[in-house]
Amino acid sequence: MEREYLLKNGRRLYYSAERCRFWLDTRPQWPEAEYMATELYSLRIEISHACNGYCRYCIVFGNHVQDLGRLDMPAVWAWLNEQEWFAKIRDIFLIGGEPMLFFDDILFIADHFSGKISFSTNGTLITAENARALKERGVFVYLSLDGPDREDNVNRVYRDGRPMYDDILRGLEHLEAAGTDKGIFMVSTPQTAGRIASVMEALSHRYRILKFGYSLPHWTENESGIVTPEQYRDALCAIYENRRRIDATVLQIKWRTGCLSAGRAKRFSCALHTVQTTLLPDRSIVRCAKIDHDPVLREVGNRALDDGCPLAQARDAGSRCAGCVALGSCGGGCPYDGLRRFGTIIDRRECVITPPVVELAIRDVVRHFENDAAAPAGLVPAETVRQIIG
Ligand code: SF4
Ligand code: SF4
């Protein structure tokens, strides 16, 4: 899919959706498409699904995930080091349940692994002492918080229904005091979607936040009160428009506009059968805990995931993806949500969410070249686009 824009200064700008590239003035001679990496480099470890919390939108509890026990970390580590593929792993992400229930295991990994380590936590078990231990080892912490105020976090509760809010903030303060590198994971809710950009801005000015995650909830059996794709789209557009005031990277914006900044197309949103693999508490290796533990969905093979992605779908010129401005930036969203909600590999909520965000990024590129008469004709360097989009 190619677009042509006649700029106010008389120049022409072309955009190739499948390549995520721009071209100025002359008829484009597009280079071969380049793609985001798909080689394995990341390991996600679920030590245990045990948690001291009971957050209302949690996919673990919402889907009655069976208890798979707990990894014996020293034994697992010895086993991992015997696996050929493990030598490729440069990045480990720990998730639960609540990984801080197994703090010794986090330290064990940090003391035995030379790559990057990060984990997500509800923050309630972080003390001054363990914040310092994480800082010393360069571990990156993603703390879950839906906004700076108590009412933003009504879904984050303990098993007995008590709010976690005060304990989360105390954990955040300990991380801040220790100088631990940190991000905040937020789940999009109807309550906060309309003001999320100002919420992120406020948090990023109050604390040293390097990254924000702003998730669209995965499918669960009870979806009452879930954010709509339209609300989420509007939230992402507001975040994009305010990105220079938010002093942190917002991962969900980066995933959608990063392909334009990199000049590389993205085949898949989800890393499940490409750059990432997952180790579960029962020591099984899966692509995705949700898909591979479902008796029906586990039969969906990698070939189907390949063939179901937007760039493959677009080989049919009449398909919706073939004419989409977000073709090379989309990746199709979460296949689990796609299969549950639409019976396809693609989560069709992306069709509401991603094109408008990409349109905003293209608008900024158009505006830039309307004010840059001296820019050379031909293929626009990806670095130039990166500086424009940020
Ligand atoms: S398929 Fe969805 S739930 Fe599974 S790993 Fe990918 S994004 Fe996560
Ligand atoms: S947004 Fe929808 S139509 Fe566009 S590429 Fe993604 S899945 Fe296809």
Ligand 2 contacts (CB < 6 A) are 310, 320-321, 324, 326-327, 330, 332, 346, 350-351, 354-355
Give the pLDDT of residue 63.
45
Choose one of 291, 309, 349 to mutate for the ligand 1 pocket test, by most ligand atoms within 8 angstroms of C-beta. Answer: 291
- Residue 47: pLDDT band by 50, 70, 90 thresholds? very high
Mean pLDDT for the stretch of residues 75-102: 95
Position in ligand 2 atom list of the atom nearest CA 327: 5
Mean pLDDT for the stretch of residues 282-309: 93
Among all ligands shown, which has an atom nearest to the Cα of 305?
1
Among all ligands shown, which has an atom nearest to the Cα of 342?
2
Give the pLDDT of residue 60.
47
What's the CATH code of the domain at 166?
3.20.20.70
Between 55 and 233, the more confident residue is: 233
- Residue 64: pLDDT band by 50, 70, 90 thresholds? low
Query: Starting at the edge strand that comes first in sequence, how are the strands of the sheet with 116-121 ordered?
Result: 249-250, 211-215, 182-187, 140-144, 116-121, 91-95, 42-46, 276-279, 285-286
Residue 62 confidence (pLDDT) above 60: no
Among all ligands shown, which has an atom nearest to the Cα of 277?
1
Q: Which of 317, 364, 358 is nearest to 20 (CA)?
A: 358
Tell me, yes or no, whether 127 lies in a domain.
yes
Protein residue with its CA nearest to atom 2 in ligand 2: 351
Give the pLDDT of residue 40.
96
Give the pLDDT of residue 215.
93
Protein residue with its CA nearest to atom 8 in ligand 2: 321
Give the pLDDT of residue 66.
59
Tell me, yes or no, whether 299 lies in a domain.
no
Between 83 and 65, the more confident residue is: 83
- Residue 159: pLDDT band by 50, 70, 90 thresholds? confident
Mean pLDDT for the stretch of residues 13-23: 98
Tell me, yes or no, whether 252 lies in a domain.
yes
- The structure tokens 């428009």 sit at 241
Mean pLDDT for the stretch of residues 253-268: 97
**Is the beta carbon of 335 within 6 A of some atom in ligand 1?**
yes
Question: How far, in Å, from the CA of 377 to the mean position of ligand 2?
Answer: 30
Tell me, yes or no, whether 104 lies in a domain.
yes
**Is the beta carbon of 289 within 6 A of some atom in ligand 1?**
no
Tell me, yes or no, whether 285 lies in a domain.
no
Among all ligands shown, which has an atom nearest to the Cα of 215?
1
Domain that holds residue 183: 42-262
Domains held by the chain: number: 1
pLDDT tens by residue, 362-386: 999 999 999 998 999 999 999 999 9
Considering only 5-9, 135-139, 289-293, 359-363, which range has the smallest mean pLDDT?
289-293
Task: Tell me the C-alpha distance between 337 and 50, whole Å.
Answer: 24
Give the pLDDT of residue 61.
46
Mean pLDDT for the stretch of residues 42-67: 74
Question: How far, in Å, from the CA of 311 to the mean position of ligand 1?
Answer: 19
Residue 41 confidence (pLDDT) above 90: yes
Tell me, yes or no, whether 385 lies in a domain.
no
Residue 161 confidence (pLDDT) above 60: yes
Choose one of 327, 352, 362 to mutate for the ligand 2 pocket test, by most ligand atoms within 8 angstroms of C-beta. Answer: 327
Protein residue with its CA nearest to atom 6 in ligand 1: 270
Please list the residues that pair with 117 across neighbouring strands: 92
Give the pLDDT of residue 50.
86
Task: Share the mean pLDDT of the chain.
Answer: 93
Question: How far, in Å, from the CA of 321 to the mean position of ligand 2?
Answer: 5
Mean pLDDT for the stretch of residues 336-361: 97
- For 130-135, the CB contacts below 8 A with 24+ separation are 130/100, 130/103, 130/174, 131/171, 131/174, 131/175, 131/177, 131/178, 131/180, 132/178, 132/180, 133/107, 134/106, 134/110, 134/175, 134/178, 134/180, 135/178, 135/179, 135/180, 135/181
Total count of residues recorded for the chain? 390
Position in ligand 1 atom list of the atom nearest CA 335: 1
Give the pLDDT of residue 96.
79
Residue 59 confidence (pLDDT) above 60: no
Between 71 and 191, the more confident residue is: 71
Protein residue with its CA nearest to atom 3 in ligand 2: 321
Tell me, yes or no, whether 74 lies in a domain.
yes
Protein residue with its CA nearest to atom 7 in ligand 2: 332
Question: How far, in Å, from the CA of 335 to the mean position of ligand 1?
Answer: 6
Name the pTM for this structure: 0.93
Position in ligand 1 atom list of the atom nearest CA 333: 7
Mean pLDDT for the stretch of residues 318-341: 96
- Residue 22: pLDDT band by 50, 70, 90 thresholds? very high
Give the pLDDT of residue 390.
85
Tell me, yes or no, whether 286 lies in a domain.
no
Position in ligand 1 atom list of the atom nearest CA 271: 6
Mean pLDDT for the stretch of residues 103-116: 97
**Is the beta carbon of 340 within 6 A of some atom in ligand 1?**
no
Question: How far, in Å, from the CA of 211 to the mean position of ligand 2?
Answer: 26
Residue 58 confidence (pLDDT) above 90: no
Protein residue with its CA nearest to atom 6 in ligand 2: 330
